[in-house]
Chains A and B, each alone.
Chain A
Amino acid sequence: MLPGGGWLVVFFALPMALMLLVSLQTGTFDTGYQLTWNFGIYPEVIGQYWELYLRSAIFALTTTGLTLAIGYPVAYTIAFRAGRFKNALLLLVVLPFFVSFVIRTLNWRMILSDNGLIFGTLKDFGLLPPEYHFLATPAAVILGLTYNFLPFMILPLYVALEKIDRRLIEAATDLYASRAQAFWRVTFVLSLPGLVAGSLLTFIPTVGDFITAEVIGSGNPQVFMVGNIIQRKFLDSLDYPAAAALAFVLVAAVMGLVALYTRLVGSDRLTG
């Protein structure tokens, strides 16, 4: 276990610590960066980019809500109504996700483009004004995020719903609960661990994603998320200290939100 643990220390723990140190450096790329314990960088980047954090949080929360609204009825249908087609349907749900993330997102950009399949057709029929624009809007990015992270919600929900003892629901209806009551008081409550796990599994990668906003956002800074700026600062403008600080604020914010969320729902629900 030593080599594997060592690998994780060298290529995960050490880089995280280094990133913290890098965020406290000052200088420019050409003259080199020196460690000056510049903690002032944190208020600076937050002051400058708070809107991006807020937007990322809103996009990710909306996406989590949408995947839940779409994913719950589907997971329920597969778990309770699909009979012997259960596994086939489940595979069908994940099949599109075997195709590369980047390729899927690129094809959404094409579908949603101004003269693409949907909006080009609507414009041809005169149902939309020719200047109508959907790509590179917040709604388009959220649609892309919802698509890309949908299985992260459906699968945990399905697992939770699937293992519910059907006799409990029967017992509820035998005791004169209406179908709605039986659902909300029994099925829904028992599916909560899946709901909590699904929301975390959806929210965390969504809030850090930058490919969807880059591709479907078509480079429009109005729909950038914080990941876009982190990536640009690291790889294009080579402003390592600010980029590292932005990344650390993201980590802290995500951990804070997750802690708050698990506290609100109770950690016993997490373990189910």
Chain B
Amino acid sequence: MTTGIRSHRPPSVRSRLANLALPAFTGLLFIFLFAPIVVMIVFSFNDPGGRQNITWQGFTLRNYVDLWGRSVITNAMTVSLAVAAISTVVATAFGTMIGLALTRYDFRGRWVMNLLLFIPMTAPEIILGAALLTLWVSLGMERGFLTILAAHVMFNISFVVVTVRARLAGMSQSLEEAGMDLYADGWTTFWKVTFPIIFPGILSAMLLAFALSIDDYVITVFSSGRTVTFPLWVYSASRFGIPPEVNVLGTLILLLALVFIVVQVWSQRTAGRSTDSAAPVTIALR
């Protein structure tokens, strides 16, 4: 076909076009990715006459002000924040213990533990939700705040373990041994040596757990009964068209996420090391 030294010829028109094609394609993707986000932000400022929020009627800031007076919304937000906060703390404590045990000790039944952690993370969410519903029904348990909480702790544990383990994997065990050699007991060694080292991992795990919990719809709907969390409220309020409040809250969440990313990037810069840059990425995945 050709005579060989190809890579040293000046680029042909075709390859120059190919060079442009990739960035152009990526640009188009960003339009696709941000289309619903732009619509959401724009329509959060819409001033719809009635309940429908489908066509542009005029600019207003009222949606942002009125929001805080609507008890349905503030109640749902309170429930979501409470569930997220408590399930984060509980799941982080449990998950960190499991993570430590799995990396530090060799014990029989390891594979059972690994399976218990792996399946909830990979199974379709509807399966976990449905299985929990059969538990509540079989026990004759009234569904509400506590059942939601139990469910959220359950699905958060696996993600905490994965995050904490990643941090532990990079930690040398000789530091703990040094602590022990210097007559620290197990407890002291944990709090003075292990904990400070794995703390960044625990922090990312907590952020991840919080974000997963506050946005969960699928598993929650099977455990909620009459209790309404924020995603459940959004869904039920938007049966026919999206009320502006939904877009207002979406926009505020986006702002919060932006602030959080900026702070994280900034704190990593000042700390001078590249730790878990994957954390915000993993959070957004669910």
- A95 and B284 CA atoms in complex are apart in Å by 7
Instruction: Tell me if B246 counts as interface (CB < 8 A to partner A).
Output: yes
Say whether, besides A173-B7, A178-B6, A98 and B284 are in contact (CB < 8 Å).
Answer: yes
| Complex contact B124–A254 (CB within 8 A) | yes
Q: Please indicate the chain B residues that have their CB under 8 angstroms from the CB of A16 in the complex.
A: 131
- A13 and B115 CA atoms in complex are apart in Å by 10
Q: Please indicate the chain A residues that have their CB under 8 angstroms from the CB of B284 in the complex.
A: 94-95, 97-98, 151
Interface band, chain A: 35 or more
Instruction: Tell me if B26 counts as interface (CB < 8 A to partner A).
Output: yes
Q: Please indicate the chain B residues that have their CB under 8 angstroms from the CB of A122 in the complex.
A: none
Tell me the nearest residue of chain B to A16, going by C-beta.
Answer: B131
- A28 and B263 CA atoms in complex are apart in Å by 55
| Complex contact B234–A110 (CB within 8 A) | no
Instruction: Tell me if B72 counts as interface (CB < 8 A to partner A).
Output: no
- A208 and B29 CA atoms in complex are apart in Å by 25
| Complex contact B7–A19 (CB within 8 A) | no
- A93 and B134 CA atoms in complex are apart in Å by 38
Task: Report A234 CB to chain B, min CB distance, Å.
Answer: 6
| Chain B 1-18 residues near chain A, CB threshold 8 A | 4-7, 15
Residue of B39, B98, B126 touching A210 (CB-CB under 8 A):
B126
Instruction: Tell me if B71 counts as interface (CB < 8 A to partner A).
Output: no
Q: Please indicate the chain B residues that have their CB under 8 angstroms from the CB of A174 in the complex.
A: 7
Instruction: Tell me if B25 counts as interface (CB < 8 A to partner A).
Output: yes
| Complex contact A99–B254 (CB within 8 A) | yes
| Complex contact A208–B40 (CB within 8 A) | no
Say whether, besides A18-B134, A110-B54, A230-B126, A7 and B94 are in contact (CB < 8 Å).
Answer: yes
| Complex contact A99–B40 (CB within 8 A) | yes
Q: Please indicate the chain B residues that have their CB under 8 angstroms from the CB of A98 in the complex.
A: 211, 253-254, 257, 283-284
Tell me the nearest residue of chain B to A73, going by C-beta.
Answer: B25
Say whether, besides A5-B98, A97-B285, A11 and B123 are in contact (CB < 8 Å).
Answer: no
- A97 and B95 CA atoms in complex are apart in Å by 25
Residue of B6, B23, B119, B249 touching A81 (CB-CB under 8 A):
B23
- Which stretch, A47-55, A125-133, A185-193, A242-250, touches the partner chain B? A242-250
Task: Report A36 CB to chain B, min CB distance, Å.
Answer: 16
Tell me the nearest residue of chain B to A151, going by C-beta.
Answer: B285
Q: Please indicate the chain B residues that have their CB under 8 angstroms from the CB of A108 in the complex.
A: 35-36
Tell me if B's interface is mostly helix, strand, loop or mixed. helix
Instruction: Tell me if B130 counts as interface (CB < 8 A to partner A).
Output: yes
| Complex contact B124–A111 (CB within 8 A) | no
Instruction: Tell me if A205 counts as interface (CB < 8 A to partner B).
Output: yes
Instruction: Tell me if B132 counts as interface (CB < 8 A to partner A).
Output: yes
Most buried by A among B5, B30, B154, B281: B281
- Which stretch, A84-92, A134-142, A262-270, touches the partner chain B? A84-92
| Complex contact A19–B280 (CB within 8 A) | no
| Complex contact A106–B128 (CB within 8 A) | no
Say whether, besides A19-B134, A178-B6, A208 and B26 are in contact (CB < 8 Å).
Answer: no
Instruction: Tell me if B157 counts as interface (CB < 8 A to partner A).
Output: yes
Instruction: Tell me if B32 counts as interface (CB < 8 A to partner A).
Output: yes
- A207 and B264 CA atoms in complex are apart in Å by 34
Residue of A111, A179, A211 touching B39 (CB-CB under 8 A):
A111
Say whether, besides A87-B277, A99-B250, A251 and B32 are in contact (CB < 8 Å).
Answer: no
| Complex contact B222–A247 (CB within 8 A) | no
Instruction: Tell me if A70 counts as interface (CB < 8 A to partner B).
Output: yes
- Which stretch, B58-66, B166-174, B180-188, B213-221, touches the partner chain A? B213-221
- A73 and B25 CA atoms in complex are apart in Å by 8
| Complex contact B124–A12 (CB within 8 A) | no
Instruction: Tell me if B235 counts as interface (CB < 8 A to partner A).
Output: yes
| Complex contact B222–A235 (CB within 8 A) | yes
Instruction: Tell me if A31 counts as interface (CB < 8 A to partner B).
Output: no
- A13 and B261 CA atoms in complex are apart in Å by 36
Instruction: Tell me if A61 counts as interface (CB < 8 A to partner B).
Output: no
**Interface pairs A-B: 9 shortest CB-CB:** A208-B124, A4-B94, A98-B257, A15-B131, A107-B36, A1-B101, A97-B284, A94-B284, A11-B154
Supply 6 A–B pairs (Cβ within 8 Å), ascending by A. Answer: A81-B23, A95-B258, A107-B37, A208-B123, A234-B130, A235-B133
- 13 more CB-based (< 8 A) A-B contacts, given A1-B101, A234-B133: A4-B95, A7-B153, A15-B134, A94-B280, A102-B238, A106-B242, A107-B37, A110-B54, A110-B241, A152-B285, A173-B7, A211-B217, A254-B124
